[in-house]
Amino acid sequence: MEVPFTQGPVGRASYRQTLPLEPGEVVLTFDDGPMPRRTPAVLEALRTECVKATFFVVGTMVAEFPDILRRTAAEGHTIATHTWSHAYLNRQRSRNVQRDQINGGLVAARTVLGQTDPALSPFFRYPGLGHTRALDGYVAAQRLIPFSIDVDGDDWRRITPEQVVERVLARLDARGKGIVLLHDIQPRTVAILPELLRRLKAKGYRIVHVVPAAGDTRLALNAVEEPRARRIRLALDRLETREFQRVASAGGSFVPVTTAPARVVRVASAGDEALALRPALPDSVTPTPTGHAWVDPVHPPAPAAVARAEAPSASSTAPVRPALAAPNLPAGERPATQPAAATRADRAGADTNRGRETDHAGFVSVSLLTGQGAGFQEIRLRR
């Protein structure tokens, strides 16, 4: 079933409307994952019965277990989001915290799956189903679809697995159809899911797979606001670094923000000096001799939010070797002095050096984006 943006919000536990399901139709949703062992067990149960579900993932869990998210998407399930760290948004007074939580979960899923994975959706669920009119207004402005529930399986409560099955079936029988809430991180859910699926089928229920309307996910990704909280930014930077290393080791291209081919620029330096980024005005907003235009059509950078990469100053005591451009860069292009569109830090209004972290593999966790026509390539810096 296709669920367009105009149909939201849905779920009678929170709203006056729900999905236009036929009698006997059920939408299975799983919250709070992914989690090792348990989410794969849920996936196996779903695969055995040839049904698809929707997984509302938490950003911190995605950052910790990206391989499970990739498997979930690869097996054809819909990926939705459930905030960055499962914060109860209706209990948060800070709008910045609310905004970062809502956007952080989507950014994490986007980093792992990319912009164009058909599994990624603009469906969003509030932790604890706690929402306000103001939150709903912001979520709608971000082109996300609030997704509540019709039937709570209570698998998060301290009840037996058998009680979970009985409650789901009894509540479905009372409504005749609906969106069911379960949790793929709960051991009782893992234990009862095969039996629940068999009994649903025996009772004549049909599990419906919900997917976003064409273009809705892209609009939500275009509207996303990069989180400003330092802890979330650094966690996302580390996730991007690991994703880059994973793809690079397999000989592929890593494009977490756009669909353009990725380019890797290696900047050689001596000793432990850091690669510096300083605010700089773009040379021009018209194409340069290398065919680049320094305008991001989604997030146009402010003049001071354009970064140049440069070697340490001449006063540095450590000698610096010349920058080395990757073979696939255009002839004559100098990555160490080339202007670039705004980095995540710039878009958040932060110091351009704030995200520079070197992990154990030596990758500097900072990104530059260079434009070429309407596409943008991510440049990773390694010292």
Q: What is the H or E stretch that residue 167 is in?
A: helix 161-175
Distance of CA 324 to the CA centre of its chain: 32
What six digits make up the tokens of 145?
């679809």
- Range list of β-strands (E), the chain: 2-3, 25-31, 54-57, 78-81, 120-124, 145-146, 151-152, 178-183, 206-207, 211-212, 263-266, 276-279, 307-310, 363-372, 375-382
DSSP 8-state code for residue 143: T
Q: Report how far residue 75's alpha carbon sits from residue 159's, in angstroms, rounded to the nearest whole number.
A: 30
- Give the type of residue at 30: F
What sign results for the dihedral spanned by CA atoms 66, 69, 75, 78? negative
**DSSP characters over 273-323:** PPPEEEE---S-SS--TTS-----SSSPPPGGG-EEEEPPPTT-SS--PPP
Q: Report how far residue 235's alpha carbon sits from residue 60's, in angstroms, rounded to the nearest whole number.
A: 8
Could you list the active site residues? 31, 183
The CA-based angle 356-357-363, given to 5 degrees, is 105
Residues 6 or more apart in contact with residue 97 via CB below 8 angstroms: 87, 229
